[in-house]
């Protein structure tokens, strides 16, 4: 007889400085992902706005603030605009490989370089090789690393210019963390290219959504997440499609979903 599904226990973190909005405090509700049903639990929590970090699923639960909004792209209806089409064409030479979640030194060095340029002094800046291996390899769910390389020359693998740790959920791809050669002028817009590649990849696999995590109103660092259409945002009444030109996302969508 199969053991009954055990309802997870949720915990709340102590308030800490918000990394996105100066002067505010963040707090998260979280639960552990482990055991035979970790994937199913992660899928269910992803549909109500949770994100995964290693073996933990979390969601903002901040007092007096609901600026973080879960967003996802409808992959089957995505139509790139003119600038996005140019970006896809410019990077069409890249060799893209979905790899098993195994950390490499090449990935780690690219991550370190990316963090030094884009997030110096951030929460991940002190990550060492073991920390990176834990992030990639200790996944309780169906995960992969998507690598983006320049073309192969003389039988040798091309330079790694981007990578993304990705979860495959029942209804879509969840982009956990991407990093890339942020100072390569010839590969400008690489982060956006990685998102579009995931949208196209998800559609080809018959997965309806690509989860981008949280869009944070008032944070310029998160503005890129609502440039892809169609986009849906999670509010108290479920997922709702946001019409073009509707930014900022209406206030009723910014209310947190109760746990």
User: d(Cα 7, Cα 87) in Å, to the nearest integer?
Assistant: 44
* pTM tops 0.85: yes
Round the average pLDDT of the chain to a whole number and report it.
90
pLDDT tens-digit profile of 70-96?
999 999 999 999 999 999 999 999 999
Q: What is the pLDDT of residue 170?
A: 96
pLDDT tens-digit profile of 16-46?
999 889 999 999 999 999 988 999 999 999 9
Q: Tell me the C-alpha to C-alpha distance, in Å, between residue 65 and each of 23, 26, 31, 50, 249.
A: 12, 9, 21, 17, 15
User: d(Cα 177, Cα 167) in Å, to the nearest integer?
Assistant: 10
259 confidence band (pLDDT: 50, 70, 90) = very low
Q: In the predicted model, is pLDDT for residue 106 greater than 70?
A: yes
CA 44 to chain CA centroid, nearest Å:
17
Q: What is the pLDDT of residue 113?
A: 96
């Amino acid at each position: 007889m199969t053991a009954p599904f055990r309802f997870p226990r949720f915990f709340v973190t102590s308030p800490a400085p918000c990394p996105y909005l100066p002067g505010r405090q963040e707090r998260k509700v979280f639960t552990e992902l482990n055991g035979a049903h970790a994937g199913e639990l992660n899928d269910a929590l992803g549909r109500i706005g949770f994100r995964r970090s290693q073996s933990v699923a979390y969601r903002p639960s901040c007092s007096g603030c609901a600026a973080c909004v879960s967003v996802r792209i409808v992959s089957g209806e995505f139509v790139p605009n003119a600038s996005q089409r140019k970006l896809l064409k410019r990077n069409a030479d890249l060799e893209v490989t979905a790899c098993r979640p195994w950390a490499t030194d090449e990935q780690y060095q690219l991550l370190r370089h990316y963090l030094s340029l884009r997030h110096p002094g951030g929460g991940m800046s002190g990550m060492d090789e073991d920390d990176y291996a834990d992030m990639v390899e200790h996944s309780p769910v169906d995960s992969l690393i998507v690598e983006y390389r320049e073309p192969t020359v003389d039988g040798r693998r091309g330079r790694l210019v981007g990578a993304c740790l990705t979860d495959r959920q029942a209804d879509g791809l969840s982009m956990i963390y991407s990093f890339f050669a942020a100072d390569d002028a010839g590969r400008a817009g690489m982060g956006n290219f990685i998102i579009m590649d995931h949208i196209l990849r998800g559609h080809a696999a018959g997965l309806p959504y690509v989860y981008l995590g949280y869009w944070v109103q008032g944070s310029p660092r998160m503005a890129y997440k609502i440039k892809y259409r169609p986009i849906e945002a999670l509010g108290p009444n479920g997922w709702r499609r946001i019409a073009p030109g509707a930014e900022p996302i209406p206030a009723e969508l910014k209310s947190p979903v109760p746990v």
